[in-house]
Amino acid sequence: MNVEPEVPSSAEGTAADFVRLWAEAVVRQAQRSREANRRSEVDDRMYERNDGPALMGAINEETLRDNWRTAWAEEQTLIWAAHQLERWQARLAKERGLKAPQQNESLRLIRNALEHLDELDLDEGWAVLPEGLTPKQAKRMAISSLPDNMLSLNRPIQTKVLDPELVTTEALNVVAAVQDVLNDLALQHFLDLQRGK
């Protein structure tokens, strides 16, 4: 028997469901990001030392490139999931007549820089502001808010603002900030079950 999930009856309920959806996604994605970064670090070390699987040819430059692509994609997905969580957290606050919580500034900076990555000059493993931009254009690209106005492309999303582990930590901090909402949802679900809903 297929049971359709219960659709919330209000905008508040829908927003709360999306807060939970994105909080769970951030937790899952944080784990994937950590695993991808660990794999990349371990393989890099073995390759540099010509040790273990690298000695046998199992870790080669293509393995390192695969790891780099995977880690970049996992971290960027984590950042976007955390952004969606923040947006739905703000919508839930609006539906409840509350002030929206402040965005995580570190994640905002890196997310905005990544959003305009394809518009930047790419030079020897760095994304940098193109020359000749007006201050307004440079500010819109957000990379101007990062130290030295640049973003490393050689490692997964890494700047002086955020290293890979800090990206994960900051995203999980967003989840921690909505813990009360998640607890309220669990309590409401329990009460609904008690009432036979």
Look at 111 and 189; give whichever has higher pLDDT.
111
- Give pLDDT, residue 161: 47
Tell me the whole-structure pTM to 2 decimals.
0.77
pLDDT at 91 over 90: yes
- Give pLDDT, residue 181: 67
Q: Which of 60, 58, 68 is nearest to 37 (CA)?
A: 68
Mean pLDDT of the residues in the chain = 80
- Give pLDDT, residue 99: 92
DSSP 164-183: HHHHHHHHHHHHHHTHHHHH
- Give pLDDT, residue 160: 46
Query: 9-18, 79-88, 129-138, 175-184 — which one is most confidently predicted on average?
Result: 79-88
Enumerate the domain spans of the chain: 11-194
Please tell me the distance from the alpha carbon of residue 123 to that of residue 142, in angstroms, as a whole number.
Answer: 18
pLDDT at 137 over 60: yes
Q: Give the CA distances from residue 177 to residues 20, 80, 86, in Å, rounded to whole numbers and listed in that order.
A: 12, 17, 9
- Buried b / exposed e over 132-160, threshold 16 CB at 10 Å, is eeeeeebeebbbbbbeebbbebebbbbbe
Please tell me the distance from the alpha carbon of residue 90 to that of residue 15, in angstroms, as a whole number.
Answer: 9
Q: Give the CA distances from residue 145 to residues 60, 62, 129, 134, 166, in Å, rounded to whole numbers and listed in that order.
A: 36, 33, 11, 14, 18
What percentage of the chain carries pLDDT values higher than 70? 78
Look at 150 and 163; give whichever has higher pLDDT.
150
pLDDT at 2 over 80: no
- Give pLDDT, residue 4: 56
